[in-house]
Amino acid sequence: MHRAPLLVPSALALSLTLWAAAASAANFQITPISLPSGTKITGTIQTDGSTGPLSAANFTAWSITVRSTEALLYNPSQPGAPELTGVAVSADGRRLLVRRSPDGVADGGTLRFGSVWPLERYVTVATYAGYTAASGGQSSYVNGAQFEWQWFGDPSGGSHQVATAAAGSAVFRLIPVVYPSGTTLTGTITTDGGTGVISAANITDYRLKVQTVSEVTYLRTATSGNSSVLPNTNGVSSDGTQLLVARPGGYLGFGVPPAGSRRGEGAVLADFGPAAPSRGQAGYFNPFTLEYKPLKFSGKLYSVAQLIP
């Protein structure tokens, strides 16, 4: 009886098989990091699929977003005063209205709070004056170098409702304005209860909040990117399902390292280095900001990301 020969893979074939397995990319989802200020770090990391200890060369791609929020408050305790033209309370006392441009050329109304000069820190709930008349009005805010606007694109004529009040109440709650960045304008305006056209003298209180949103994304793909693995990174490993940072001594961060006069920035997913608290920290830094939160981890291997199935 003829027996088929037993096929034994050559050393080269076995090496190629092992290399292919190691070269299979692995994608990990970062455990979200929420900092005390409201800043949040999220994103994904790709490795070459290696397990055991990892070096910077094993990280092949990433997209890590740092999303920060800040509340800008406008109230009577701050410089400036209400600026009103063409603003009215409806006859039933339920709506706060700003007059639109009658024809897209002539000025309409304006409702603004804060200081325009010399300190520019104000919020315009709605305006149809000047160049905004032809564009259907806008809302905007300015806080020094921070500013943004939202065009309404309203038709000419009539009025734009900016707030509403409950029956019998003189406290008007703004209809939220959402700016392109995701920043929102909310708050209340209190009047003396009068109806019809009102002036600044009719405003007895205002409590407005501009919740700003800013984002930076540290990115690396196969062909481009704006960041690198931060140079302090060490003590990082993978067990095939998690990315792990060793305690003590471990560190994992992505961003732009300092170079010459350039100050660095980046997202630090875990820091158990000699300058960190003994139970670790994670956070974000740039030339103007430094914020960390304690990890309170007392084990040996801290998980910063999980494999995406």
Q: How many CB atoms lie within 10 A of CB 151?
A: 13
pLDDT reading at 288 higher than 90: no
The answer to pTM > 0.75 is no
The answer to whether residues 44 and 28 touch, using CB atoms and an 8 Å cutoff, is: yes
Distance separating the N- and C-terminal Cα atoms of the chain: 48
Model confidence pLDDT, tens digit, residues 172-220 = 999 999 999 899 999 999 999 999 999 999 999 999 999 998 899 999 9
Of 267, 279, 302, 308, give the one whose Cα is nearest residue 40.
Answer: 267
**According to the model, what pLDDT value does residue 23 have?**
52
Which residue ranges make up each domain of the chain? 25-54+227-307, 73-215
pLDDT reading at 6 higher than 70: no
Residues 283, 34: Cα–Cα separation, whole Å: 9
List of residues 6+ apart from 238 with CB closer than 8 A? 26, 47, 50, 51, 52, 54, 244
In the predicted model, what is the mean pLDDT of residues 90-116?
97
DSSP H or E segment with residue 228: strand 228-229
Structural Rg of the chain based on CA atoms: 29
Q: Sort 176 into a burial class: Cβ within 10 Å, 0-12 / 13-18 / 19+.
A: exposed
Q: Helix, strand, or coil here: 246?
A: strand
In the predicted model, what is the mean pLDDT of residues 142-170?
96
Residues 42, 304: Cα–Cα separation, whole Å: 11
The answer to whether residues 153 and 126 touch, using CB atoms and an 8 Å cutoff, is: no
The answer to whether residues 58 and 52 touch, using CB atoms and an 8 Å cutoff, is: no
Instruction: Tell me how long the chain is.
Output: 309
pLDDT reading at 19 higher than 60: no
The answer to whether residues 209 and 186 touch, using CB atoms and an 8 Å cutoff, is: yes
pLDDT reading at 277 higher than 60: yes
* Long-range CB contact pairs, 116-120, < 8 A, 24+: 116/80, 116/83, 119/79, 119/80, 120/144
Model confidence pLDDT, tens digit, residues 229-262 = 999 999 999 999 999 999 999 999 999 998 888 8
The rounded percent of the chain whose pLDDT value lies above 70 is 93
